[in-house]
Amino acid sequence: MDVVSDAIAAVRIGRPSSNRLRVGGAWSARIPAYEGAGFHVVLEGGCWLLPDGGELVRLGAGDAVLLPHGTGHVLASAPLDRDAAGLAVPIERLLAAARPTPPPAPEGPLDGATGPLPVLDGATGPLPVLGAASGPITELLCGKYRLEHSRSHPLMLELPDVVHLPNRVGAHPQLRAAVDLLGGELAVEGAGGALAVPSLIDLLLVYMLRAWLASPRTAAGAGGGSGLGADAPVAGPGAEFGAVGAEPGAGGRWPAALGDRVVAGALRALHEDPARGWSVEELAASAGVSRATLTRRFTALVGRAPMAYLAWWRMTRAAALLQQTADPLDVIARRVGYATPYALSHAFSRQFGTTPGRYRDRMAAHFADG
């Protein structure tokens, strides 16, 4: 697979979830921190998002926002400060009220933790309106991806806490199409929807990451060439991702790495066949450059030398296979380029601090508990 697909697949667990809400009047809803990533798409109207420890973000109709690290946040009908955010209604109360047969309750504001439960109002449309239907109405598509952050690819780690993708004419047409399709699927219970909806939510994540990578800020420093000369900073053999020299672009290291022809080609080769017995010479030949050029550019943009990155990726892939499959250790070893289970177990223990078997058991127990 390609780097972005692998970065998602390595951390994804189970099926994503989503809900649609229509809210009117004055309201605010609290979404707690989550072990995964969250997203919202404004289908109608507008609202404000206040992330924990962050700045207010205004969301207009058609805007999409990704919270890749599961940051807790508040959604509200109007700008609010931290004190007001503390009074926000838990999002679960809104979701419970939006179900087909919610318990009756008197109408009231949706912006006080001790206030009345949200109620259904008699507005027209595919969804009932929570709160007052007489004022401005906001319709939201909200969802979550369950992720195992201990296996996060540095591309995912580099994402900011809030990725805001404003709706602009001609911008992100694939993202817009995915949003429209997903909103349509959720509006009706169509045949095959149980398969279509999770697939469209996965597609939405891919398109949000693509849009972030292609945005002017993250694309700074990327392009056909990295501009790295002979004096570009080079990491030591044990350097960690993101710890080498200055950031290659204003938006971070990985947009620049994926925008560099040589580095992107080498990354593609490693991800397409991680089990191959790669050498730096073979990898440089596949990218059409010398060994020295590849090592310099790859290390400066990725943060590790090519073979160090490959060793890290093999272990990350092994961890994902241990959690996502029932394959025996010898099969997983061959899939990630190790000749024997013993060799894999030794390398795995060095990276994760535990044996493959214990890691598998721990992951199974953790996610069985919710």
Q: What is the pLDDT of residues 168-213, one digit of tens each?
A: 767 788 888 888 888 788 777 778 877 888 888 888 889 999 888 8
pLDDT at residue 114 in the model: 38
> Which tens digit of pLDDT belongs to each residue from 272-300?
999 999 999 999 999 999 999 999 999 99
Considering the chain, what is the average pLDDT of its residues? 80
Q: Would you say residue 6 has pLDDT above 70?
A: yes
Please give the Cα distance from 281 to 226 (Å, whole number): 21
Give the least confident one: 57-66, 216-225, 333-342.
216-225
CA distance readout (Å), 285 to 197, 216, 232, 233, 303: 42, 31, 21, 22, 21
CA distance readout (Å), 346 to 182, 230, 349, 354, 361: 44, 37, 5, 9, 18
Please give the Cα distance from 106 to 119 (Å, whole number): 7
pLDDT at residue 129 in the model: 66
The answer to whether 363 and 301 are in contact (CB under 8 A) is no
In this prediction, residue 229 has a pLDDT band, given cuts at 50, 70 and 90, of very low
Q: Would you say residue 120 has pLDDT above 80?
A: no
> Which tens digit of pLDDT belongs to each residue from 336-345?
999 999 999 9
Q: Would you say residue 106 has pLDDT above 50?
A: no
Look at the block and give the residue holding tokens 């030794």. Answer: 346
Q: Would you say residue 20 has pLDDT above 80?
A: yes
Please give the Cα distance from 245 to 150 (Å, whole number): 25
pLDDT at residue 213 in the model: 86
Instruction: Identify residue 247 by its one-letter amino acid code.
Output: E
Reduce the DSSP state of residue 265 to 3 states and report it: helix
Q: Would you say residue 346 has pLDDT above 90?
A: yes
> Which tens digit of pLDDT belongs to each residue from 87-105?
898 988 887 776 654 444 4
pLDDT at residue 368 in the model: 65
pLDDT at residue 39 in the model: 93
Provide the phi-psi class of 246: left if phi over 0, else alpha when psi is between -120 and 50, else beta: beta
Q: Would you say residue 117 has pLDDT above 70?
A: no
Please give the Cα distance from 221 to 248 (Å, whole number): 6
Sheet containing 47-51, strands listed edge to edge, beginning at the edge strand earlier in sequence: 57-59, 47-51, 73-76, 28-31, 89-90
Please give the Cα distance from 276 to 339 (Å, whole number): 11
Helix (H) or strand (E) holding 138: strand 137-146
